[in-house]
Amino acid sequence: MSAMHAAMSQRTIAVCADDFGMHADVDGAILDLVQAGRVTTVSCLVGGANWRRSGPKLAQLDRDRLEIGLHFDLTLAPLAGDRPCAGQSLWSLIARAQLRLLSRRTLEDQVARQLDAFEKVMHRAPDHVDGHQHVHQLPIVRDALLAVLDRRYPGALPWLRSTRPGAGASGKARLIDGLGGAGLRRAAALSRRATSGRLLGVHGFDCDAGGYLAKVAGWLHQCRDGDVLMCHPGWTPGAADDPLRVMRGIEWLVLGGEGMAQCLEREHVGLAPLTPGFRLRHQTPGTRPAPQRPPARPA
């Protein structure tokens, strides 16, 4: 394929690493992938045990090459104060949300507290907001979230991460979106707030490195401009009580490895933050700047 044809066919997506602030091994692995150009977007767990130590490292990085957002959390480490879901399982939260038994006022307080914690460390608003275990899209939760964002950050930012599944998505991906994805997209459209494209990267956390690389290759093959490939990298050994600690190490190795580089090259996929494109779309007409290809991982 000619260089001109390759450039014309290139698609651009964001690779978003979740759970920054949870643990030093998670944070170190994410920063490693950011420096290697393999992660363009970081979602921060501001109630995480390591957030105050690792957050300032993110604040020092180039905003043109990395976007940083809030990983809104109601199940793992919500902040002190009104804690609507502390000690409850995800399924209990989902049930209460679907039955509309959650307090919107209490949820708005929790959104504001987590945004305060983000701003205290980052000294700016988040570029985007998503949810730990995708809670940001649940009924009542999404209403509270959008109400606070619209009061606090009028305009185009921050964008919201959609859970719309990709082509041939797994049952898990369809289930996640079915819990509130369409409602979030409708609500965001009514408030004129940008959302990402499809969500790639959902899987069962039960594969080895070869299996995960095959999944990544499939996601990159079918991706579209504006999609988000979600990931959960981490160094081993990780936290003893983290059920994803083994899979985190596998994701870090694959995303930073040569196999990932080959997939990106073969599929003509570029990695870049989504925020600049949303700003251009909202504020001024014009063409989205072409992203730079990620550099090869250092030996």
Rounded to two decimals, the pTM is 0.89
Return per-residue pLDDT of the chain as tens, 299 residues. 333 334 445 899 999 999 999 999 999 999 999 999 999 999 999 999 999 999 999 999 988 889 999 999 999 989 976 444 455 789 999 999 999 999 999 999 999 999 999 999 999 999 999 999 999 999 999 999 999 999 999 877 899 999 999 988 999 999 999 999 999 999 999 988 999 999 999 999 999 999 999 999 999 999 999 999 999 999 999 999 999 999 999 999 999 999 999 999 999 999 999 988 886 555 433 333 333 344 444 43
Q: State the CB neighbour count (10 A cutoff) for residue 299.
A: 3
Provide the pLDDT for residue 87.
Answer: 53
Provide the pLDDT for residue 9.
Answer: 54
Provide the pLDDT for residue 3.
Answer: 39
Query: What's the rounded Cα separation, in Å, for the pair 116 and 110?
Result: 10
- Which tokens go with 270? 């570029």
Lookup result for tokens 């957050």: 55
* CATH code of domain 3-283: 3.20.20.370
**Alpha helical stretches, state H, the chain:** 3-9, 24-35, 51-59, 90-98, 104-122, 141-152, 171-178, 181-190, 209-222, 245-255, 258-267, 275-283
Query: What's the rounded Cα separation, in Å, for the pair 5 and 117?
Result: 46
Query: What's the rounded Cα separation, in Å, for the pair 110 and 100?
Result: 17
Provide the pLDDT for residue 291.
Answer: 35
